[in-house]
């Protein structure tokens, strides 16, 4: 990606996020009115206490509704794909209709907020575990480097010296053999 396009994407992202933050109150009012629509409540379910009860949430009502709808869409596509793959439907649209119905049922039973809570808890747990595991690994390698690093360095240097000495001794032996042949030829020539 070119630098200009990366900068453009960054500026566009900043403008979008700034406009969302500035328009949060207006978005909450609009989304609360949309959330009062009966058809939307039937299709997407009604989070605990209604959409308006999340006005004080860190993401605000807009964030909660977006997350709720995205989870609903994931469930809809997952159900449809599972039914399309494993059920012997002759029409390709039937799995999508059945998946839509299952997503609506799941949303109306209130499983989506519970699912969001479980996913957040699992993600937070894995995140915390990753931090502690990485700290433990860093500590172990620090201890290994501190107590055994110098010994390892000396062992590596000794092995390099041995290899170099073998190579050097072979070269020296070749040179001595060459000098011996030269001496022999010189001694032979001087006798004549």
Q: What is the mean pLDDT of the chain?
A: 75
Is 95 a member of any domain? yes
Is 186 a member of any domain? no
| Position 52 pLDDT exceeds 50 | no
pLDDT at 134: 95
Is 155 a member of any domain? no
| Position 59 pLDDT exceeds 70 | no
Is 65 a member of any domain? yes
**Spatial distance between the Cα atoms of 138 and 147, rounded to a whole number of angstroms:** 14
Per-residue pLDDT tens for 110-153? 787 778 778 888 999 999 999 999 999 999 988 888 888 777 77
Mean pLDDT within 9-38? 64
Is 43 a member of any domain? yes
- For the chain, give the percent of residues with pLDDT over 70: 57
Is 57 a member of any domain? yes
Is 179 a member of any domain? no
- 62 and 27 Cβ atoms separated by less than 8 Å: yes
Residue 27's domain comprises 3-109
More confident: 19 or 114: 114
Q: What is the token pair recorded at 90?
A: 């002759």
Is 174 a member of any domain? no
Domain tally for the chain?
1
**Spatial distance between the Cα atoms of 18 and 122, rounded to a whole number of angstroms:** 30
Q: How far is CA 30 from CA 47, 61, 69, 90, in A?
A: 17, 10, 16, 42
Taking every pair of Cα atoms in the chain, the longest distance, rounded to a whole number of angstroms, is 122
0.85 surpassed by pTM: no
Q: How far is CA 110 from CA 40, 54, 86, 89, in A?
A: 14, 15, 26, 29
Mean pLDDT within 172-190? 68
Q: What is the token pair recorded at 142?
A: 């620090």
Per-residue pLDDT tens for 74-115? 888 898 889 888 888 888 888 888 998 898 888 888 787 778
């Amino acid at each position: 990606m070119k630098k200009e396009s990366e900068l453009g994407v960054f500026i566009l992202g900043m403008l979008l996020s700034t406009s969302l933050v500035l328009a949060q109150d207006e978005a909450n009012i609009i989304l609360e009115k949309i959330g009062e629509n009966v058809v939307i409540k039937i299709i997407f379910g009604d989070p605990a206490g209604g959409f308006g009860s999340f006005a004080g949430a860190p993401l605000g009502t807009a964030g909660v509704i977006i997350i709720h709808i995205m989870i609903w869409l994931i469930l809809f596509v997952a159900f449809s794909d599972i039914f399309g793959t494993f059920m012997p439907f002759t029409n390709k649209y039937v799995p999508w209709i059945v998946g839509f119905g299952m997503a609506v049922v799941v949303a109306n039973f209130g499983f989506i907020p519970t699912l969001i809570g479980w996913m957040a808890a699992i993600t937070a747990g894995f995140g915390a575990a990753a931090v502690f595991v990485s700290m433990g690994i860093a500590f172990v390698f620090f201890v290994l480097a501190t107590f055994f690093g110098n010994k390892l360095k000396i062992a590596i240097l000794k092995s390099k010296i041995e290899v170099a000495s073998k190579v050097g001794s072979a070269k020296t032996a070749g040179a001595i053999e060459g000098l011996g042949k030269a001496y022999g030829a010189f001694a032979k020539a001087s006798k004549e």
